[in-house]
Amino acid sequence: MSDLRRDELLRALPYARRYARALTGSQRGGDRLVADSLRGMLAGDLDFAAPSELRRIFYAEVTRRFNDREFNDREDQPQAPHELSAAQRQLLLLTSLEELRVEEAAPILAMTAPQAERQLLAARDRLRNAAATDVLIIEDEPIIAMDIEELVHNCGHRVVGVAATEAEAVAIAAHTRPGLILADINLGAGGDGTAAVARILERHRVPVIFVTAYPERLLTGEAPEPAFVITKPFEPVTLAIATYQAVTGGLRIG
């Protein structure tokens, strides 16, 4: 593989990490999956792939390795009426979190575009009926916090508090013990969202979704980092699938 192709592939690395972490429900599992996928791709011949194709090839390799190693769902049927199948979760992550078009995501999952469209419609219906949880929002911008609160309500969840500072977040979490935290990174004069979450997690283990305009800064794989990261601004379905994955623990099997 040429040095140019290696550089292009490495530029796609943060996005593959985001997808794999959300897919598996953990930083460790996602990053291990990405590392294995990257080694396999670097050993292959990708010199004829267009730069725009490399990111999708990376997603496809991550998906293939995950399905081969971790998940045995041959008929790909949900286990309960409101449970998403593996393919439905993957489609939602690829189209919402990673912002691929349906026709780009479909071949990654060995589907036709019409098949993928039908699966997405069914997945969005199931998301609307997913189990609700109590959500703590950590966001210092009042208008943005109001928008996020409305999105959380529209996803079927309950907002138990909105914190604008690190101290408020820790206090609200101690009082309400939320089932999910949705946190901004930069709280301005109010402190640091990651520091607030770290303090909360010392006393209460809870899934966390970080919201940031610069996701690549949280996807280096060089230190403890979040499993779930969504990019500002985001669509309601992006929040919905990230919340679903966080609350259900991703697709970890065994």
Around 229, how many Cα atoms within 13 Å sit in the side-chain half-sphere?
27
| Burial readout 165-184 (b: 16 or more C-beta within 10 A, e: otherwise) | bbebbbebbeebebbbbbbb
Residue pair 179/206 in contact by the 8 Å Cβ criterion: yes
Is the pLDDT assigned to residue 167 strictly greater than 50?
A: yes
Calpha distance 240→79 (Å, rounded): 20
Fold equal for 3-128 and 134-235? no
Residue 240 CB: number of other CB atoms within 10 A? 23
Is the pLDDT assigned to residue 20 strictly greater than 90?
A: yes
For residues 118-141, give the mean pLDDT.
87
Q: What DSSP character marks residue 96?
A: I
Give 90-110 pLDDT, tens digit per residue.
999 999 999 999 999 999 999
What kind of fold does domain 3-128 have according to CATH? Butyryl-CoA Dehydrogenase, subunit A; domain 3 (1.20.140)
| pTM score of the predicted model | 0.79
Share of the chain above pLDDT 70, in %: 86
Domain ranges of the chain: 3-128, 134-235
Give 39-62 pLDDT, tens digit per residue.
888 877 666 566 678 889 999 999
What kind of fold does domain 134-235 have according to CATH? Rossmann fold (3.40.50)
